[in-house]
Structure 1
Amino acid sequence: MLRSCGLGDTDIAKLSIAHPWLLTSNIERVQAMVAHAQDIGVPRGCRMFRHALKAIKFLSKEKIAAKVEHLKKTFMWSDAEVGVVVSKFPSVLMRSNQMLQSKSEFLISKAGLEPTYIAHRPAMLSYSLEGRIKPRHYVVKYLKENGFLDHGRDYYYTLCISEKVFMERFICPHKEAAPHLAEDYASACRGEVPSSFRFT
């Protein structure tokens, strides 16, 4: 059944390790999960199908509908945009409303991102707000405001690159001009961000 959905042996193994009950469930229950995943806009055969099955395993249609409404309200998304988000990042259905609200407030109100921009890059919602999004935002904002970085830099790129690459491209080149940058960034990653960085 799972192979017919386009899942390979590795995908099935990962799904079964995370959810052993899947192996003992009757086929009707698995078929219902597959249909449910397709209903939320994740077709069989796509690379996110395994993640969709994982996301909706314990969610009723009513709970999913409620989460969709919350996403629309919180991020000011249209039905189509929520569809894009769920198809690209099914795990968003498992995120708490409080967490989604706090990320929406920061990304839209503080970072100034357009709702559509976030909808087409929903993976950014998987990153820690305190441990990744805020610290990197503060660094990039400082670099742009002080002429060290062009304003056309893609926001999502600064979030999705690894910590090693971020340090190499955004921190290390400015050690002399901004001697406290690395220290303040490290503090921000620990959740110790002051009201404003000591970028002097």
Structure 2
Amino acid sequence: MKALCFTGSNLGHIVSQAPSLLCCSLEQNLSPKVSLFVAIFGSKHSLYKIITRYPRLLMCNTDNVKPNIDILKKSSMQDELLLYAIMVRPSLILRSEELLKSEIEYVRNLGILEGSKGFANALVAIDSSGLENFENKLKLLTTLRLLENEILKIVRWFPSTLSGGIDKIKKNMDFLKNTAGFQPNIVVTHSRLLTYSVENRLLPRHKVFEFLRETDPSRLPKSLVKVYNLSERSFADKFLLGTPEAAKLFENYKGKSVDLAIS
């Protein structure tokens, strides 16, 4: 493990996630797996990054790895894109061949260009959610007045935003429509809005906007939606600090874990 650059807390993390690797045969199990994965991923550094994300990779049955790599390559996934997909979703290469083929076929039927990053992103999102669950999310977006071509645009370019559960998507869409006053298709161009916490991000910032609308409309940004994407520090610097109303603004933003001093 140290030869793969795992030391200190990183080594502790790997062992805590896959403790049984300490009982594996070095010669008959771990060394052959490491050699196989280094050959697939191109370097020990790439393998290090993947194992950090998915420690159980070292404990997996590798029977499906080579066949699945071949299946992915047949879907026009070149080496760089293949490595990207596996690094995001290492378990892709551990699936049964039948399941992986069905997921790839589903992405094809969505009309996403094979060999594109959008194809890889959609495959990762589907594998992460499960095929049936992913289909249910697409149906949900249809019921929320999104057009088919709008939904497909999200799937092509921002599929990872559909990684949340169905209840979360419903909750975020309800906030965006009924509280923030956006049209449902706002998530087509700003799909990250589906990933944020309503309680810890969207609603607190909305309260700040409401306060500014009443007290100092000139400070309101031209595009409120873009402000939801700001980091905590950037949002605080731009809208919470340096004004006579700072204390009141922080009160509207209370509950946040932003360790900032009012000045």
Aligned-pair CA distance for 1:151: 5.0
- 1:95 maps to 2:167: no
- 1:112 maps to 2:207: no
Alignment of 1:44-193 (within 5 A): 44-57=114-127, 59-60=130-131, 63-73=133-143, 75-151=144-220, 153-174=222-243, 176-185=244-253, 187-189=254-256
Checking the alignment, whether the CA contact within 8 Å between 1:16 and 1:23 is kept in structure 2 is no
Checking the alignment, whether the CA contact within 8 Å between 2:177 and 2:184 is kept in structure 1 is yes
Percent of paired sites with the same residue: 25
Deviations 1:24-58 (A, max 9, x none): 744x6544433322333443343343332222126
Deviations 1:91-150 (A, max 9, x none): 344432221221111110110001122222112111111111111111122223322545
TM-score w.r.t. length of structure 1: 0.75
Checking the alignment, whether the CA contact within 8 Å between 1:55 and 1:90 is kept in structure 2 is yes
Tell me how large the CA RMSD over aligned residues is.
2.8
Unmatched 5+ residue regions in structure 2? 1-69, 258-263
Which structure's CA Rg is the greater one?
2
TM-score w.r.t. length of structure 2: 0.59
| Matched position secondary structure for 1:131 | helix
| Matched position secondary structure for 2:247 | coil
Match of 1:22 among 80, 93, 103: 93
- 1:36 maps to 2:103: no
Residues 137, 169 of structure 1: alpha-carbon distance in 2 compared, 3 angstrom cutoff? same
| Matched position secondary structure for 2:130 | coil
Checking the alignment, whether the CA contact within 8 Å between 1:7 and 1:45 is kept in structure 2 is no
Checking the alignment, whether the CA contact within 8 Å between 1:72 and 1:79 is kept in structure 2 is yes
